[in-house]
Amino acid sequence: MKWLAVAAREIAGLFVEDVGFTLGILAWVALAALVLRELPVGEPWRAAIFLAGCLALLVENVVRAARKRAG
Amino acid sequence: MRGWRPALAGTAAGLAFLALLVLAFGPLLARMPIRYLQLSIGVLLLLFGMRWLRKAILREAGVIALHDEAAAFADQSAALRAAHPRRGWDAIAVITAFKAVVLEGLEVVFIVLAVGAAGGLLLPASLGALAACALVAIVGCAVHRPLARIPENTLKFAVGVLLSAFGAFWIGEGLGFRWPGEDLAILGIAALFLAAASAAALLARRESAG
């Protein structure tokens, strides 16, 4: 049973390390599905805005983590 | 440490278990409607890839320590030496090898299923994983030591970039967004993830330096 718990933890750990980061990504995907899809913007722009949001989330989280460790 | 036979038996059992997972879940995923499959696999790939990339960036920037393969090897060796020797069937050695192969291999199985099922490329993805597995096994047998000289973080950085790019691409496809250049857009997305990750590493290094 201990081995099963380790496996379950390992599987969850594949996707979640920083809970805030994971929730941020999920929230952005949800926003893209519910809002961005309905916005009256040209077709390549939806994909571009979605990608820009993902990149911004990554950079912001990394910088915040570095700042937290430093101070 | 405890002989080749139990190590090889545990490794073979672990690989068989992982192959079973791919054979069971691969065809099952392929039956899902393509839009839902792209979206769900894309979300999982994006979470997985960006988690990996984030960690690789923080390691690259010196914010967290690099993974010490040699220390992990020493710890595991000491634990195995301390365990009681058994005659005949060495269950401890078999279970240790099985557990290591399955736990590390779960990430590979996920990548094979995600890239394979969403793109209809289960066979090439499985063959690629098998080739990588054979290469690591050959080098591992030859050097009898952890592969500490492999630039692990650089590899993780690159894999994180690729998985994140595939994830963002599949989510866009699943939501009906049009990527410029269609499938070729993955290369551009990966280039942008690489640029953003490199910039983030620089910024993080600056932040942690004070």
Q: Which of B58, B52, B53, B51 lies closest to B201 in space, CA to CA?
A: B58
CA atoms within 13 A on the CB side of B188: 12
Partners of A22 on chain B (C-beta within 8 Å) are 47, 51
> In chain B, which residue ranges form alpha helices assigned H by DSSP?
4-30, 34-60, 69-82, 91-119, 122-143, 152-175, 185-209
Of A14, A58, A70, nearest to B207 by CB-CB distance is A70
Is there a contact between A55 and B103 if contact means CB atoms under 8 Å apart? no
**Other CB atoms within 10 Å distance of the CB of residue A19:** 8
Chain B interface mutation, best of A54, A60, A68, A69, highest count of B Cβ atoms under 10 Å = A54
Please report the pLDDT score of residue B148 as a whole number. 62
Q: How many domains does chain B have?
A: 1
Q: Quick one: how many helices (H) and strands (E) in chain A? A: 3, 0
Partners of B91 on chain A (C-beta within 8 Å) are none
Residues with Cβ within 8 Å of B127's Cβ and at least 6 positions away in sequence, in order, are none
Across chain B, what does the average pLDDT equal?
83
pLDDT at B144 over 70: no
Q: Which two three-digit tokens encode residue B177?
A: 């967004």
| Full residue range of the structural domain in which residue A36 is found | 17-70
CA gap B26, B31 in Å, rounded:
9
pLDDT at A68 over 70: yes
Of B39, B192, B203, nearest to A51 by CB-CB distance is B192
pLDDT digits (tens, 9 = 90+) for B91-118: 777 888 888 888 778 878 877 887 777 6
Partners of A45 on chain B (C-beta within 8 Å) are none
Whether A26 is in a domain gets the answer yes
CA-nearest residue to B195 within chain A is: A55
pLDDT at A48 over 80: yes
pLDDT at B119 over 70: no
CA gap B116, B107 in Å, rounded:
14
Of A32, A43, A58, nearest to B54 by CB-CB distance is A58
Please report the pLDDT score of residue B57 as a whole number. 96
pLDDT digits (tens, 9 = 90+) for B24-50: 887 777 778 888 888 988 999 999 999
Is there a contact between B51 and A65 if contact means CB atoms under 8 Å apart? no
CA-nearest residue to A68 within chain B is: B208
Is there a contact between A58 and B204 if contact means CB atoms under 8 Å apart? no
Whether A31 is in a domain gets the answer yes
Place of tokens 């094979």: B112
CA gap A4, A10 in Å, rounded:
10
Q: What is the pTM of this model?
A: 0.78
Distance of CA B123 to the CA centre of its chain: 17
| Full residue range of the structural domain in which residue B99 is found | 4-209
Q: How many domains does chain A have?
A: 1
Radius of gyration of chain A (CA): 17
Mean pLDDT value across residues A33-57: 91
Partners of B171 on chain A (C-beta within 8 Å) are 29, 32, 50
CA atoms within 13 A on the CB side of B85: 5
Whether A33 is in a domain gets the answer yes
CA-nearest residue to B99 within chain A is: A3
What ipTM is given for this predicted complex?
Answer: 0.89
Please report the pLDDT score of residue B95 as a whole number. 83
Please report the pLDDT score of residue A69 as a whole number. 85
